Amino acid sequence: MRIATWNVNSVTARLDRLLAWLESAQPDVLALQELKCADSAFPTVPVQDLGYEVATLGTGRWNGVAILSRVGLSDVTLGLSGQPQYEGVDEPRAIGATCGGVRVWGVYVPNGREPGHDHYAYKLQWLAALRDTVATELMSAPERPLAIIGDFNVAPTDDDVWDIAVFAGNTHVTEPERQALADLRAIGLTDVMPRALKGNPFTFWDYRNGALHRGWGMRIDLIYANPPFAAAVTDAYIDRDERKGKGASDHAPVVVDLDQAASAER
């Protein structure tokens, strides 16, 4: 099974690239972030024409998440248990589904804007709600493969940014954010992406200043998995080529391959 995550940065603006990537990469499951459209505006029909079921959570111009699956789509969960609001709004940032026996949570973690901002506090509260939601699921079905995939808007270590001196004191690299990721891992999850980190490890490059070509990137799109999922991983890669060219998202897809038979034999 091939599972992928991609912050597409507007599914309507990136539709041609999305459809082409689905055909070339052939993921069985794809979590999308930053749809920037309401559920009613999601391009469901052309995606379904490629054999995918679709579950979306989008409310309009900003945010929005989706899961596309060609191996089944059931037990869809919209949002987190105890999810905090921002300025009185439940933002569409998390969607869970069971696909081919694997539980997948697609997430778009709040940016945080800057330390001390209300959005930064909201980001930490949101990550705590994610931890609690997934911890409950892990307890209820410990043998089921599970992964949280998506845009976490946190670089786990200094090596996950091109120059830590440039980011020092800014969001994405602060200790409270990294501690929130550590708390998430502490419920029984591991980062399965090290297999993909040969050469350029980054998943996001700003559109400005030729960041992609200069290697000025960050690794903020992550795959955190429980032991049954991690045991089944056979390969992983970052599709940096999809970040190139006209009309690209500022994020690259991240892909992981599973041998489910190996997981079942544990």
Tell me the three state secondary structure of residue 85.
coil
Please give the pLDDT value at position 201.
87
pLDDT in tens, 26-48: 999 999 999 999 999 999 999 99
Nearest to 53 by CA among 41, 67, 40: 67
Please give the pLDDT value at position 266.
46
Tell me the whole-structure pTM to 2 decimals: 0.96
pLDDT in tens, 102-160: 999 999 999 999 999 999 999 999 999 999 999 999 999 999 999 999 999 999 999 99
The dihedral formed by the CA atoms of 211, 175, 200 and 107, expressed in degrees to the nearest 10: -90
Q: Are strands 29-33 and 65-69 parallel, antiparallel or unpaired?
A: antiparallel
> What is the mean pLDDT of the segment spanning 8-14?
97
Please give the pLDDT value at position 62.
86
Structural domains of the chain ordered from first start:
2-264 (3.60.10.10)
> What is the mean pLDDT of the segment spanning 9-23?
97
Please give the pLDDT value at position 264.
52
> What is the mean pLDDT of the segment spanning 149-177?
96
User: What is the residue-averaged pLDDT of the chain?
Assistant: 95
Q: Are strands 217-218 and 204-205 parallel, antiparallel or unpaired?
A: antiparallel
Q: For residue 8, give Cα distances in angstroms to 5, 115, 180, 215.
A: 9, 26, 25, 20
Taking 70 as the threshold, does the pLDDT of residue 199 lie above it? no
Yes or no: say if 42 and 15 are a contact pair by the CB < 8 Å rule: no
Name the pLDDT band for 258 (thresholds 50, 70, 90): very high
> What is the mean pLDDT of the segment spanning 185-206?
88
